[in-house]
């Protein structure tokens, strides 16, 4: 089983041909996680709210319009992609793995790593491979299988 991290889902939404081709090859064994869904929606909501909050001159109105259309289009494509993938939940087994990881490996407790560690815990609890370009962070997790579809 392949678990796409947030970055790889973003690459698919942006139309990366290499990642999309690999996804087509193993689509039936490919999933993502509820953590990736959270990260996507947090990111899009933040961007859209910031766009709404910006005051613009009449000259900037067209640029703002294009930006909002672009952001909603990317959000729409993200939702459409996520609807095609099984989404793995952060269940009791994943939570247990997550807590164990943080207990046994204090360096993984950094706040910036928490969502990645939850993705890792979900993958570990299902003996799956995380598909990511983020070898620096995911590579710190003992026993986690990782693969990068961009290389």
Tens of pLDDT, residues 65-112? 888 888 888 888 888 988 999 999 999 999 999 999 999 998 888 888
Quick one: DSSP state of residue 130? E
Asked whether residue 132 carries a pLDDT value surpassing 70, the answer given is yes
Tokens representing 22? 């690999």
Give me the percent of the chain exceeding a pLDDT of 90.
65
Closest CA to 133 of 109, 108, 116, 114: 116
User: What confidence score (pLDDT) does residue 120 get?
Assistant: 97
Of 143 and 68, more confident: 143
Looking at residue 34, its pLDDT comes to 97
- Strand locations in 58-116 (E): 87-88
pLDDT at position 123, please?
Answer: 98
The residue-averaged pLDDT of 127-150 equals: 96
- Contacting residues for 137 by C-beta, under 8 A, at least 6 apart: 113, 116
- Contacts of residue 29, defined as CB under 8 A and 6 or more positions apart, other chains included, come to 1, 2
Taking the alpha carbons of 135, 98, 26, 21 in that order, is the dihedral positive or negative? negative
Closest by CA to 22, choosing from 149, 115, 116, 151, is 149
Which of these, 119, 137, 136, lies nearest to 128 by C-alpha position?
119
pLDDT at 55 over 70: no
Strands (DSSP E) contained in 13-101 are 30-33, 87-88
Task: Output DSSP code: residue 3.
Answer: E
**Cα angle for residues 82, 86, 87 (degrees, 5° grid):** 75
Residue 57 confidence (pLDDT): 65
Instruction: Classify 121 as helix, strand or coil.
Output: helix
CB 94 within 8 A of CB 9: no
């Amino acid at each position: 089983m392949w678990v796409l991290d947030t970055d790889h889902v973003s690459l698919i939404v942006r139309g990366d041909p290499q990642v999309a081709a690999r996804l087509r090859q193993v689509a039936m064994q490919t999933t993502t996680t509820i953590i990736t869904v959270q990260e996507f929606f947090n990111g899009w909501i933040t961007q859209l709210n910031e766009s709404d909050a910006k005051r613009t001159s009449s000259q900037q109105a067209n640029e703002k319009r294009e930006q909002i259309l672009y952001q909603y289009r990317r959000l729409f494509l993200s939702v459409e992609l996520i609807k095609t993938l099984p989404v793995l939940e952060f269940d009791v087994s994943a939570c247990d793995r997550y807590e164990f990881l943080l207990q046994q490996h204090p360096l993984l407790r950094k706040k910036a790593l928490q969502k990645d560690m939850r993705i890792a815990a979900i993958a570990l609890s299902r003996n799956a491979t995380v598909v990511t370009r983020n070898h620096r962070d995911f590579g710190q997790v003992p026993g986690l299988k990782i693969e990068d579809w961009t290389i």
